[in-house]
Every structure is written in structure tokens, then in C-alpha cells.
């Protein structure tokens, strides 16, 4: 094979070969043909790439067809029903979009970019998700909570999916309770309050009292038909991701199918209350083993009246950690209560089978007896000792402003290639510092709501990814919880530095033995 190169020199081009062919004449040209060589080379490369992709596609086609058939069988008739409902939702939102387009077209400003994207724009996609119901609302909440995976404008728009979901009529709730208990409701509960305490996209919560013991409880009830809807919807999303990756292998670099699998696994775990009950019991065992039952608790699960679709738990009475006035009336030092909450949570990262991965104000309370109450274990995380060791170094480095150490810990977490020669610490400074307030990102002023915390996290992610850093999922889960705790710190202990305070034990394998002492 003859290799060639085109060299610019004196307005002429020379073509050289490594073989003893006769010297080609030098042809003067006012417009050099280097561009032609470049185009030909790129054409050859594209041809090779097309051939390779075609071969890969042919080899992967049987697996794709098998996956489609298997998933379709698993979905069954409910898939056709949801498909029809999906068409109705698309037509409904499409009509809204057409109306908005016609109104904008008649204005002097023209059609905004949001409208030009059609149903794929953040606004109309969010509206479509809401029309599609529970699965897509949960998917929207996942998007809103995952700024490391989705574009900023989508994360911000899907914050609206956190609003209260429609309630299920009490008659339907009673039917579910009778079916699940296998006996009259009156034989198990003294009464069940018909007005729900809360209604989310997947479940509804009612206050109740147990028969006989007269203990106050709450019943978490899976909404009717939600499992069928979830399976059909998630299977559809999975197949769509598989087909997209097959048609465009570039999507595989973004781990599209992997992300969808993670979402599907997470959502299906939430509708299995046996798993949530196991998460609660694991946390309670952790508290007992560490001697922390006087400092914190999680609701006791009543197994005799809990099933896969209903979960009966001890009712805990208290106030969210954001209610400063009520907290001050319950304890002498709100700051001490916050320190306890932090130490219990940090300790669970390694000492418990899983950690609570959704410690927003609705799930973290100060109870009337002064203990910290951890509620709702539908979303939990698991972290390996290696990842947490790197995360621990990262947090300590933020506190001490050691940016080289922060860079090394990000590499250990898998945020970038481990074999890099050097990682520019400017990204760490940009991520860790606010140039106006000189405050660290973890200690930034986040005091109002979910939207503000996501905005802060988006800033961290946006700057980081501009330097080629991709945060692992565990990092995102942990950072989100730290931002929640930062909110509580601003309210309850504004002068405390969460990462430097010696009363707070960020536990490691080396320091776990010191953990119990921090409560004495």
C-alpha cells in the first residue's frame, strides 16, 4: 500500500511515496488539492465505520429481536391498552402545542425555541409525562433528581413533577385492603382514616389504629393498577432504548440502555413493599447494633398486616427538620439534634446494608421524644467501601481546600480515566468555590426548596462535565443528601461547618470504631 502526505511549501504541493517510483512532477496550483485528500480520507474512514456498524448490526439483530419478543410477551395485553392511552396523551399535548404555535406565529417575536422543539421540548415533554400517569411522573421525578444524567433545562422543568398526585377514592383503598388482608378490615384495624395523609404517584398513605393493641399506625397502599402500568410503560421505554442503541451505536456510549435498566429496577423496587420493609428492618438493626436507638429510629413494620401491596408501620409523631419554631419547642439545642441526624446517616453509609437516599424534609423528622425519625425507605442507596473512601477524601478536601487531593479522589471514584497524566485542578476550584461569596459548593446557601438544591448541583455538574468529568451514580445520590443536610444546617446551626465540625463523624473503615463515642 502506498502512503502519501500533502505538504505545503512555496505555494506548491509535493506527493511523496516510500517506494522507488519515479519522481512525480510538481504541479503548480493556485488552489491546493489538500482538501481533496482530506475529503477522500474522511470518506474512506466513514465507509469503514459504516461497514463495521453494519456488521455489528447484523450480528446484534437476533439478540434485539429476541429481546423485543421476550419483553412483548412479558408485557402482554396491557401493552396495547397503554399504547392507546399514550396516543391519546400525545394527541392532547400535541393540540396544546399547536395552539401555542399558532398564537406565537401571529406575534412579532416569532416562535420561541421551546416551541420549535415540539413535544420533545422540556415543557411539553413534562406535560406529556403528566398525562401518561404514574410511571412517567416517577420518570420525571428521576430526571429532576439526576442532573448528572440529563440536560439542565429538563432537570429544572421536571421539578414540577414533585407536586401532589391525585388521590384514590377511599372505596378503592378499602377494596385493596380487603384483598390484601384476606379478611375484614375491621378485624385488623380499629379504624382507618378515609382522608389520606399523603398521596404520591405510586402509593397513598392513611392513618389507622390497630385492633386490640390500639397502636397508632400508618398504612402505605399501592395505588390500584399501578404495577401493570409500570411494567407496560417501563418495558416500552426499555425497548425504545434498545432500538435507539441498535440504530445509533453512539447512544451506547451514553449507556442509554443501562440508564433505563437502572430506572426500571429502581421503580419496580418501589412498588414491592416487601423490599421497603426489608430496608426499614435493616436500618433498625443498624441502630440497635450501634447503640443508637435512643438517638434515632425508623418506624416499626407490622408484618402480620403488611404484604407486597400494603405496608403497615408504626406512626411516628414529629416535625420536619425545616420547622425551626417547632423544633425549638421540643429540644433545647436544635444544633445537637442536627449533629445526631448527620452522625446516624454518615454511619449508615458503611455500617448498614443500605443508606437512606431521600432525606428531604418530609422523610427526616425530629420526633416529640427528641429522637431523629427516618421515614420512607422506598429509595435507598448502596455504596462500596472503595467508593466511600474516595468520597470521604473528596469531602475532607473540600473542607481543607486541598484541590489536588480532590482531583485524585474524583479519579478514584471513576469520574475520569484513571490513567490520566494530570487533572487540571481548575475544575475542582470552580466546582468547590463560588467566586462571589468565596463559599464552598457543599456549603452554598440552599435554604428554600428542591429547585434550589438542583440548581446548585447542576452548577457543579455543568462545570465538571465541561472538563470531561462524569460522576458515578453513587456520587450523585450522596451529594443530593448532603445538599439536603446543608439546608438543615443553614436553618438549625448557621454557624456550623458540616465538614469541619469535630462532633460530626464522617465514618471510614479506619474510623468506625470511634463512631459510637461521638454520641457519648
Tell me the catalytic residues: 358
Task: Judge contact between 431 and 437, C-beta under 8 A.
Answer: no
366: nearest Cα among 400, 321, 302: 321
369: nearest Cα among 338, 331, 325: 331
DSSP 8-state secondary structure symbol assigned to residue 303: G
Task: Judge contact between 115 and 108, C-beta under 8 A.
Answer: no
Task: Judge contact between 352 and 283, C-beta under 8 A.
Answer: yes
Neighbours of 59 (CB within 10 A): 9
Rounded Cα gap, residues 436 and 419, in angstroms: 34
Task: Judge contact between 354 and 279, C-beta under 8 A.
Answer: yes
Helices (H), 248-272: 250-253, 256-270
Number of H-type helices and E-type strands within the chain:
18, 13
Rounded Cα gap, residues 157 and 361, in angstroms: 21
Rounded Cα gap, residues 500 and 513, in angstroms: 19
Task: Judge contact between 196 and 205, C-beta under 8 A.
Answer: yes
Residue 312 φ then ψ, to 5° = -100, 125
266 Cβ contact list (under 8 Å, min separation 6): 142, 379
CA 220 from chain centre, in angstroms, equals: 23
Amino acid at each position: 500500500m502506498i502512503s502519501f502526505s500533502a505538504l505545503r511549501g512555496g505555494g506548491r504541493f509535493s506527493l511523496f511515496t516510500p517506494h522507488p517510483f519515479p519522481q512525480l512532477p510538481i504541479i503548480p496550483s493556485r488552489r491546493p488539492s489538500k482538501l481533496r485528500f482530506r475529503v477522500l480520507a474522511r470518506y474512506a474512514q466513514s465507509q469503514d465505520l459504516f461497514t463495521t456498524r453494519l456488521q455489528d448490526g447484523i450480528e446484534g439483530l437476533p439478540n434485539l429481536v429476541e429481546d423485543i419478543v421476550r419483553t412483548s410477551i412479558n408485557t402482554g395485553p396491557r401493552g396495547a391498552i397503554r399504547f392507546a392511552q399514550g396516543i391519546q396523551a400525545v394527541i392532547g399535548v400535541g393540540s396544546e402545542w399547536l395552539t401555542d404555535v399558532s398564537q406565537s406565529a401571529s406575534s412579532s417575536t416569532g416562535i420561541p425555541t421551546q416551541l420549535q422543539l415540539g413535544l420533545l421540548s422540556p415543557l411539553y415533554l413534562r406535560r406529556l409525562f403528566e398525562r401518561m400517569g404514574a410511571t412517567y411522573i416517577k420518570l420525571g421525578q428521576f430526571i429532576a433528581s439526576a442532573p448528572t444524567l440529563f440536560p439542565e433545562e429538563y432537570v429544572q422543568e421536571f421539578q414540577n413533577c414533585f407536586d401532589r398526585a391525585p388521590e384514590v377514592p377511599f372505596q378503592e383503598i378499602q377494596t385493596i385492603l380487603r384483598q390484601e388482608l384476606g379478611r375484614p378490615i375491621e378485624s385488623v384495624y380499629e379504624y382507618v382514616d378515609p382522608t389520606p395523609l399523603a398521596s404520591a404517584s405510586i402509593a397513598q398513605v392513611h392513618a389507622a389504629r390497630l385492633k386490640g393493641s390500639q397502636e397508632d399506625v400508618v398504612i402505605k397502599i399501592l395505588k390500584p393498577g399501578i404495577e401493570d402500568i409500570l411494567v407496560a410503560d417501563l418495558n416500552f421505554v426499555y425497548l425504545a432504548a434498545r432500538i435507539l442503541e441498535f440504530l445509533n451505536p453512539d447512544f451506547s456510549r451514553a449507556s442509554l440502555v443501562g440508564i433505563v435498566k437502572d430506572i426500571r429496577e429502581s421503580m419496580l423496587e418501589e412498588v414491592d413493599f416487601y423490599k421497603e420493609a426489608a430496608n426499614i428492618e435493616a436500618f433498625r438493626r443498624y441502630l440497635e447494633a450501634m447503640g443508637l436507638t435512643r438517638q434515632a429510629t425508623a418506624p416499626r413494620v407490622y408484618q402480620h398486616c403488611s404484604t407486597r401491596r400494603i405496608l403497615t408501620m408504626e406512626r411516628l409523631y414529629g416535625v420536619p427538620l425545616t420547622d425551626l419554631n417547632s423544633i425549638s419547642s421540643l429540644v433545647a439545642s436544635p444544633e445537637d439534634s442536627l449533629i445526631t441526624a448527620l452522625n446516624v446517616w454518615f454511619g449508615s453509609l458503611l455500617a448498614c446494608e443500605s443508606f437512606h437516599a431521600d432525606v428531604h424534609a418530609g422523610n427526616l423528622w425530629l420526633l416529640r421524644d427528641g429522637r431523629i425519625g427516618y421515614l420512607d425507605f422506598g429509595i435507598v442507596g448502596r455504596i462500596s467501601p472503595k467508593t466511600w473512601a474516595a468520597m470521604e477524601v473528596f469531602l475532607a478536601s473540600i473542607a481543607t481546600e486541598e484541590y489536588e487531593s480532590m482531583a485524585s479522589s474524583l479519579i478514584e471514584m471513576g469520574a475520569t480515566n484513571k490513567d490520566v497524566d494530570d487533572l487540571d485542578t481548575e475544575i475542582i476550584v470552580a466546582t468547590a468555590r463560588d467566586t462571589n461569596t468565596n463559599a464552598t459548593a457543599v456549603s452554598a446557601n440552599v435554604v428554600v426548596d428542591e429547585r434550589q438544591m438542583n440548581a446548585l448541583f447542576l452548577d457543579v455538574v455543568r462545570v465538571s462535565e465541561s472538563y470531561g468529568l462524569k460522576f458515578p451514580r453513587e456520587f450523585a445520590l450522596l451529594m443530593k443528601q448532603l445538599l439536603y443536610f446543608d439546608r438543615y444546617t443553614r436553618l438549625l446551626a448557621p454557624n456550623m461547618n458540616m465538614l469541619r465540625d469535630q462532633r460530626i463523624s464522617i465514618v471510614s473503615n479506619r474510623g468506625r470504631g470511634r463512631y459510637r463515642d461521638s454520641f457519648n
